[in-house]
A and B are shown apart, each in its own frame.
Chain A
Amino acid sequence: MSDIYLDNNATTKVDPLVVNEMLPFFTEQFGNPSSIHKFADGVAKALKKARQQVQELIGAEHDSEIIFTSCGTESDSTAILSALKAQPNRKEVITTAVEHPAILSLCEHLEKDGYTIHRLPVDKRGRLNLEAYKNMLSDQVAIVSVMWANNETGTIFPVEKMAEMAHAAGVMFHTDAVQAVGKIPMNLKDTQIDMLSISGHKLHAPKGIGVLYLRRGTRYRPLLRGGHQERGRRAGTENTASIVGLGKACELALEHIEYENTQVKAMRDRLERGITEQIPHCFITGDLDNRLPNTTDIAFEYIEGEAILMLLNKAGIAASSGSACTSGSLEPSHVMRAMDIPYTAAHGTIRFSFSRYNSMSEVDEVLKVMPQIVATLRKLSPYWDGEGPVANPEQAFQPTYA
């Protein structure tokens, strides 16, 4: 059995059809799209086509609303900093406690510069309270930035509704949709979302390419100024091959979006059911009724995630964890903490994220090894005794914390 890749929320393999589409743009068509000679002949046209492929996937009204960037992080930073620059009198930002670091670290940095950041909390299922959100909106807020879907749990947020609420209060709305684009259908022209971030490598395009969707008429200030590329809204010579690749990837994602929500979802559901039936003391995190079809995040109590990953890796299975130890950070994942998952479970969370390249037989393979991996580590755990957790685990084992 070859290795099994279930870490598609981290990054995806570039689709071979995407690679094929890209190759001529490294060799024959290497010209600068701004040039007037045959080496650049097809390049400008190819960029236009890619722009339309992205437009179609997200249902944007105009292809000129698509701005190519270098990654999701650049799109996020551009969106938020643009809103602040364009509205210098507004010194507040609303976001959530469970955003990606691309948003959270930027917000922390803005705080140092004197901005006020409102971070919406989530409940134990990872859901937002829209009433609390409504109360935060005011004419002091420059922008709301809420992810469309959470990268760890797959929980989907009601961004369309939240964008309407923001507009009703006269506030701009941005969504980091890097996990959602290509996995769930969207039609931006029917929404009031002003800006949206896409990352190519999350949907089988290469790394190093992203998109900022910018609704026509939204007040905007570029992050990078220079040449006239992207209509002056993002200067810098275009990453032509990757743009072409991203276009193709968007076309393929649109073709497969039903497959994603039926077949891929079926694999996810089977894995989830198999694990929770076979293994005691584990539970699925996030909003179970409202999740990306490809993601499951399972907390295995009384053991630690990195240790699980190492044993999975030995069995040829790739996944990821919300444990502190995998990142070298001080705390377990901020998403788990925001949901108030106890430490002894938060450290043992494993995220399995699927793509259309996975298969049911791979699910069965994981189900074969997972119970043994968990049992092996529980045997080492001070919270575990034979067949179950020690009685009153929190009291029975009370280490002195340094």
Chain B
Amino acid sequence: MWDYSDKVKDHFFNPKNAGAVAGANAIGEVGSISCGDALRLTLKVNEDTEVIEDAGFQTFGCGSAIASSSVLTEIIKGMTLDDALKVTNQDIASELDGLPPEKMHCSVMGREALQAAVANYRGEEWKDDHEEGALVCKCFAIDVVMIEEMVWANKLRTVEDVTNYTKAGGGCAACHEDIEAILEKVLRERGESFDPAAESISQPVVAAPKAPLTNLQRIKRIERVLESLRPQLMADGGDVELVEVVENTAYVNMTGACSGCQMAAMTIAGIQQRLMEELGEFIKVVPASQMPKVAVAAGA
């Protein structure tokens, strides 16, 4: 069974706003090919103010699809259409206290239904802008389509390249065989062959930073991100402490309820993802217990 948060379970067992809204003037119908789930979102929009006065959902799907639909209707009720369009799938997932990586596409489906409904209200045609594939990297929820596109577009050659461009493979590393298979396939199509020992073409370019961060800047920004994550961890009775930063590796101590928690690895992966997003460069987060002696000496 999936490790669903209590919020997901609550929205599944007691869904809010189930059923179609009477007199709806905005309807979005989308499906996720990756699991066959489908959602119809019906909205009643005030034509003068563009405020969403009522929202209802009908979902053919799993527990997290129903929970994502339910929480979406709660989020957007009372919003203007423009504000509602700013709701991201991350917002939906956060409101549910997170979703398992394999289930993030349920929150994507929610956001897409909303976009489709708004387009329907405005008389526009909504088109999906991304294609979903099989999940390759479970740490960062990266699928095969995304990896293939990046390999093509950027002429990537090694697993390290793929990690630098997509984050895929940057966590537990269990998917490296799959990533190599993708590289083999794409490189063959390009008339080249995959060489695991090839030099990687990439410097970390997650967000193409203007100038590389100095170590001091990096430490300050890591501290700021950890600060922003702290309330969430403390809500679960845990905390995180930055011990040392060596180049692109941040060593942390998970304390309180986080220490020894089975979810610590997931939490660390989550922190790493946030750091990479905020800093725009590749950051590896490692428990301080795994810090090499040299690093300790350098830090001392």
Contacts and interface: CB of A to CB of B under 8 A. Distances in A.
Contact of B131 (A346, A379, A381, A402): A402
Contact of B38 (A305, A379, A399): A399
A334 B267 CA distance: 33
A132 interface: no
Nearest to B128: A402
A331 B109 CA distance: 16
A307 B133 contact: no
Interface residues of A, number: 35
B34 interface: yes
A402 B116 CA distance: 12
A282 B85 CA distance: 39
A304 B37 contact: yes
A323 B62 contact: yes
Contacts of A382: 29, 38-40, 58-60
Contacts of B34: 324, 330
B29 A398 contact: yes
A135 interface: no
A106 interface: no
B65 interface: yes
Interface in A343-387: 343-344, 346-347, 379-383
B29 A379 contact: no
B50 to A, nearest CB: 23
Contacts of A311: 13
A310 B61 CA distance: 12
B98 interface: no
B108 interface: yes
Interface of A: 302-307, 309-311, 313-314, 323-326, 328-332, 343-344, 346-347, 379-383, 397-402
Given A310-B12, A330-B133, A402-B30, A380 B126 contact: no
Nearest to A384: B58
Interface of B: 1-2, 9, 12-13, 15, 18-19, 29-40, 57-66, 100, 102-103, 108-109, 112, 116, 126-128, 130-135
13 contacts: A305-B62, A307-B61, A307-B62, A310-B9, A325-B35, A325-B37, A325-B63, A328-B103, A329-B134, A380-B15, A400-B31, A400-B128, A402-B132
B34 to A, nearest CB: 6
B35 to A, nearest CB: 4
Contacts of A310: 1, 9, 12-13, 63
Given A401-B31, A402-B108, A402-B109, A303 B102 contact: no
Nearest to A329: B134
A393 B257 CA distance: 49
A306 B31 CA distance: 17
Contacts of A314: 13
Nearest to A310: B63
A137 B32 CA distance: 40
Contacts of B62: 304-307, 323, 325-326
B12 A324 contact: no
Contacts of B126: 400
Contact of A343 (B36, B39, B40, B131): B36
Given A303-B60, A304-B61, A401 B33 contact: yes
Contacts of A381: 58-60
Nearest to B144: A330
A324 B35 contact: yes
A330 B35 contact: yes
A323 B2 CA distance: 14
A383 B135 contact: no
A347 B128 CA distance: 23
Of B13, B34, B36, which is in contact with the most chain A CB atoms at under 10 Å from its CB? B36
Contact of A380 (B59, B102, B135): B59
A380 B128 CA distance: 24
A351 to B, nearest CB: 15
B32 A402 contact: yes
B40 A399 contact: yes
Contacts of B131: 402
A372 to B, nearest CB: 13
Contacts of A325: 35, 37, 61-65, 103
Nearest to B127: A400
A72 B133 CA distance: 30
A309 B63 CA distance: 9
Contact of A307 (B66, B108, B127): B66
Contacts of B58: 380-382
Contacts of B134: 329-330
When A and B form their complex, which 8 residue pairs have the shortest distance between CB atoms, in order from nearest? A325-B62, A328-B102, A399-B31, A306-B62, A382-B58, A382-B40, A399-B29, A402-B128
Contacts of A383: 60
Contacts of B39: 382, 399
A324 B37 CA distance: 9
A400 B116 CA distance: 9
